[in-house]
Chains A and B, each alone.
Chain A
Amino acid sequence: MTTKDATYNYAIRLGDNALILGHRLSELCSKGPILEEDLALTNVALDMIGRAQALLKYAAELEGKGHTEDDIAYRRAEINYHNHLLIEQPNGDFAHTIARQLYLSVFEYLFFTELEKSKDATLAAIASKTIKEVKYHMQHAIDWSLRLGDGTAESHKRMQKGLNDLWMYTGELFEMDVLDTYLLHQHIAVDTIALKAKWQSEIEKILREATLTLPEDTYMQTGSKKGIHTENLGHILSEMQYLQRAYPDAKW
């Protein structure tokens, strides 16, 4: 494994997270609980697709085969996709969306704060732009967690359910495989294991204020780093890649 190859894979993983979350959030367009919130979630989706574009473009450069970010996004199969399982889960109700946003945005805030110190200048630059966006996503998710948790009995129940349903996918956020460790030693990657305690205590603090409880520990699902996904990703890709796959010679 060369540093370049490893960094390519690392950029792909981060890019896929942004792309697939952007996909799930963009599915919610015109379905918001109030017009203002529709626009707010679209802004998050746009941030995500912009981030995906930057990371996949960088991956294409590292790959050095003359591919574009679109080739990378639109011409890879499930097994070569490496987004977290948490991100590809189908949208549920608004509480489900907020629970996912809460888990992820708190994680991403911690993650990109570390990645900003990366020795890889491109990743560091993307991280510092991303932090600004993620701070806002996190504030948005926290505020809604409080409103839903401490709102009505129904919203409380739904928010707790959203948190519980997604909990089993949160373990994966902190996994480190050979590639991560290799890049960590070169001061390129983030030590996610080290973020876990901080993440959990942040989440716990927010949930306590929102009169919610941290879900009980359970078996944590895993697989995305090896390209083993839930059934959901295949459907996302068959939709997302439809035109590029059906008309391979066309330029859009």
Chain B
Amino acid sequence: MATDTQLDLWEVFIQSKSGLPYIHSGSVHASDVKMAMQNARDIYTRRGEGTSIWVVPAKHISASNPDDNDMLFDPSNDKIYRHPTFYVMPEGAKNI
């Protein structure tokens, strides 16, 4: 083989407690999914950080383009009616 391989790049997501969201922890290199899973376990859950692991080949993750940020994210700024604080409740209303 001409060039050295360091195997494929995978992204690791860990759930720290059941019911909580999976959060990106970092990356590992691995040639197959079993290895990626074991490496993720060996590297990112050494201190009891996890109850569940997702591994995803990095090449299958798409990231939004920062140049599109205006288009993607600004339009939601003025949609304040999506937030509960937008609404006026009568004085004395409870549990709402």
Complex A–B touching at CB under 8 A: yes
- How large, as a class, is the contact surface on chain B? 10 to 19
Counting from the closest, the 5 A-B pairs by CB-CB distance are A36-B39, A40-B42, A43-B42, A143-B34, A39-B42
- B42 and A36: CB pair below 8 A? yes
Interface pair B43/A39, CB less than 8 Å apart: yes
Does A139 reach chain B (CB closer than 8 Å)? yes
List, in ascending order, chain A residues with CB within 8 A of B34's CB: 143
In the complex, A143 Cα to B30 Cα: how many Å? Answer: 12
Interface string of B26-47 (1 = CB under 8 A from A): 0011111011001100110010
Complex: A140 Cα to B37 Cα, angstroms: 11
Q: Which of B6, B32, B38, B46 contacts A34 (CB 8 A)?
A: B6
How many residues in A have their beta carbons less than 8 Å from beta carbons of B? Answer: 11
What 1/0 flags go to A127-170 for Cβ under 8 Å of B?
A: 00000000000011001000100000000000000000000000
Inter-chain contacts of A147 with B (CB < 8 A)? 31-32, 35
A209 to B30, CA, bound (A): 21
CB distance from B20 to the nearest CB of A (A): 23
Q: Is the CB of A140 within 8 A of B7?
A: no
User: Given known contacts A36-B28, A36-B29, A39-B43, is B38 in contact with A143 (CB within 8 Å)?
Assistant: yes
Cα A39 to Cα B35 with chains together (Å):
13
| A36 to B, closest residue via Cβ | B39
Contact of A139 with B42 at beta-carbon distance under 8 Å, contacts A34-B6, A34-B29, A36-B30 already known: no
Chain B nearest Cβ from A28, distance in angstroms: 14
Interface of B is mostly: mixed
Contact residues, B1-57 vs A (CB, 8 A): 6-7, 28-32, 34-35, 38-39, 42-43, 46
Can you list, as one digit per residue, whether each of B41-85 has a CB less than 8 Å from chain A (1) or not (0)? 011001000000000000000000000000000000000000000
* CB of A20, distance to nearest CB on chain B (Å): 22
- Assess whether B38 is in contact with A40, with CB atoms less than 8 Å apart: yes
Given the complex of chains A and B, what is the CA–CA distance between A147 and B30 in angstroms? Answer: 12
Question: Could you say which of B6, B38, B43 has the most chain A C-beta atoms within 10 Å of its C-beta?
Answer: B38
Q: In the complex, what residues of A have CB within 8 A of residue B30's CB? A: 36
Other contacts beyond A36-B39, A140-B38: 16, CB < 8 A? A34-B7, A35-B29, A36-B30, A36-B35, A36-B42, A37-B39, A39-B39, A39-B43, A40-B39, A40-B42, A43-B42, A139-B38, A143-B34, A143-B35, A143-B38, A147-B35
- Write out the residue numbers on chain A whose beta carbons fall within 8 Å of the beta carbon of B43: 36, 39
Question: Within the complex, what minimum Cβ distance (angstroms) separates A225 from chain B?
Answer: 34
> Which residues from chain B contact A140 at a C-beta distance below 8 Å?
38
Report the separation of the CA atoms of residues A147 and B28 in the bound assembly, to the nearest whole angstrom: 18
Q: Which chain B positions have C-beta within 8 A of A43?
A: 42, 46
Chain B residues closer than 8 Å to A37, beta-carbon distance = 39
